[in-house]
Amino acid sequence: MAAQFTAGTADVKDVARLAARGVTVGYGDRTVIDGLDVTIPPGVITTIIGPNGCGKSTLLRTLSRLLRPTGGTVVLDGEDIGRLRTRDVAKKLGLLPQAPVAPDGLTVADLVARGRHPHQSWLRQWSSDDADVVRRALAMTGVADLAERPVDSLSGGQRQRVWISMTLAQGTDLLLLDEPTTYLDLAHAIDVLDLVDDLHESGRTVVMVLHDLNLATRYSDHLVVMRAGAVLAQGHPRDVITAELLHEAFGLRARVVEDPVGDRPLIVPIGRAHVRPDA
């Protein structure tokens, strides 16, 4: 059984940008993740999925060094992330936390400019190069026309694009996004994920946490499936997503069929009221 759930792990490239090695982490006396191993392959979109409370966001926060493990190591570009300076980590890794909040009245341009802070010092002040990076980040995310608008006046989808723009302004090619579609309707969620796909196509490595399983399979090259603080399976969606795995991970009864608009599996959940004799 376990061998089936780990099918596809051979697709993970040998050289990882980011990895957890035997990581244990929790909050106070409560351990959420215990001895976890996971590898983030470079140049693809990896999405972490799993039931509520399984440790998805905890893992992402640990990979980004917001949480320090009590055991094990997070490795970033071959180095122990815990030994790196915060500024050096911020130059390599951009994080969009869950439901970020901007100060009242802060404009879009000012928020995105904050992404350049890791590159500033008393020796290196704001320059025309920084301004160019901010302009490119605004243009890439399609929010250049909103530059002078207060962030708190924007729609949810616009705000997510602006926050992603700020992470792009850091100049990193490794992006970690914690539930970037939270509180968005389906149309705006797809709009944000199309943007994430564009960023991946431009050469960035992306790690996301998502709740919508079908969006996760459609937009991901690599899935990490978690349950109870452990990795149940990881690999390409075609290799990982099965009816058996969905029941094991989520307690979900479902059929897995071919997506009519893509080359990924499509999950059709089955509720008690919709069970057919042949289901």
Q: Considering only CA atoms, which of 214, 231, 249 is closest in space to residue 6?
A: 231
State pLDDT tens for residues 75-87: 998 899 999 988 8
pTM (predicted TM-score): 0.84
Residues of the chain with pLDDT under 50: 1-14, 279
In the chain, the domains with their CATH numbers are 1-93+172-241 (3.40.50.300), 102-171 (no CATH)
The residues facing 254 across adjacent strands are 269
What pLDDT digit, counting tens, does each position of 200-248 carry? 888 889 999 999 999 999 999 999 999 999 999 999 999 999 999 999 9
CA distances (Å), origin 245, targets 49, 50, 87, 219: 12, 11, 40, 19
Other Cβ atoms within 10 Å of 255 Cβ, number: 13
The C-alpha torsion from 59 through 60 and 63 to 67, rounded to 10°, is -70
How distant, in Å, are the alpha carbons of 59, 62, 90, 98, 205 from that of 38? 10, 12, 21, 21, 15
- What is the C-alpha to C-alpha distance for residues 244 and 253, in angstroms, rounded to an integer? 9
Classified as helix, coil or strand, 108 is helix
- What local confidence, expressed as pLDDT, does residue 206 receive? 94
Angle (CA) 187-270-250 rounded to 5° is 80
**Is residue 151 within 8 Å of 102, Cβ to Cβ?**
yes
Which helix or strand (DSSP H or E) is residue 80 part of?
A: strand 79-80
DSSP-derived secondary structure letter, 189? H
